[in-house]
């Protein structure tokens, strides 16, 4: 667990530009409708990098406050934008999307909060990530969960405990709790999973919207 936390610290440290203060442009970006942001990327694909910078800053600030981020994908996200791995003509072109820790991304662990799953990076993107890239979304961070997902909080031995975005003495809920904290603090779209309340509970605890899609 210490290795994973040290790895996270070094990845965050390496993101020099993302530690800069929030600019006027950043503030405008987080308040604009997604449709407008997508339209701008359709007209000028270089805008996707600007969106990643803004939401990368949001994620690092949210993480500092709540310990909500697990895997940091931002350096790879920069490459995906430059190399054309994401479809910048798609319906979510350039929009950074955060992912529950269990969602598979090539080159990264999906730990489920269990040490047995550490040092086992996925050999390919899972279906959700392939779908997101196909419509132009940019996965940029993964977020914290409880061990085995069976809890209405988000704490485990690998990543530590996430806290509520409004009060550090409280929980952000679970099992998609890291997502709830990040979205409440300025993230835009996050992907979770829900069998028995795993997106509904964090949404309630953090005062955000969630959608629980039906099977199929």
Query: Which residues are tagged catalytic?
Result: 100, 175, 198
How do strand 160-161 and strand 155-156 relate by DSSP bridges? antiparallel
Residue 182: closest CA among 57, 50, 28:
57
User: What's the rounded Cα separation, in Å, for the pair 60 and 19?
Assistant: 8
Q: Spell out the residues 6+ positions from residue 90 whose beta carbon is closer than 8 angstroms to its own.
A: 134, 135, 136, 137
Report the Cα–Cα distance between both ends of the chain, in Å, rounded: 36
Task: Check: CB of residue 185 under 8 Å from CB of residue 206.
Answer: no
Cis peptide before 142 (omega within 30 of 0): no
- Tell which residue, 77, 76, 110, has the closest CA to residue 4: 110
Torsion of CA 117, 125, 198, 69, to 10 degrees: 70
Contact 143, 99 (CB under 8 A): yes
């Amino acid at each position: 667990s210490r290795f994973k936390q040290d790895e996270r610290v070094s990845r965050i440290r390496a993101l020099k530009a993302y530690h800069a203060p929030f600019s006027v442009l950043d503030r405008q970006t987080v308040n604009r409708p997604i449709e407008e942001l997508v339209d701008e990327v359709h007209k000028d694909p270089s805008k996707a990098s600007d969106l990643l910078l803004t939401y990368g800053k949001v994620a690092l600030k949210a993480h500092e406050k709540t310990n909500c981020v697990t895997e940091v994908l931002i350096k790879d996200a920069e490459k995906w934008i430059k190399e054309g791995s994401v479809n910048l003509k798609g319906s979510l072109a350039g929009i950074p999307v955060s992912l529950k820790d269990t969602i598979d991304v090539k080159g990264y662990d999906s730990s489920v909060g269990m040490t047995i799953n550490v040092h086992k990076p996925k050999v390919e993107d899972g279906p959700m990530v392939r779908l997101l890239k196909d419509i132009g979304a940019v996965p940029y961070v993964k977020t914290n969960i409880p061990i085995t997902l069976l809890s209405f909080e988000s704490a485990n031995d690998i990543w530590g405990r996430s806290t509520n975005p409004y009060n550090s003495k409280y929980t952000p809920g679970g099992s998609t709790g890291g997502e709830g904290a990040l979205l409440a603090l300025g993230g835009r779209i996050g992907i979770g999973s829900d069998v028995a309340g795993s997106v509904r509970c964090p949404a309630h605890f953090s005062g955000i919207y969630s959608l629980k899609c039906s099977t199929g």
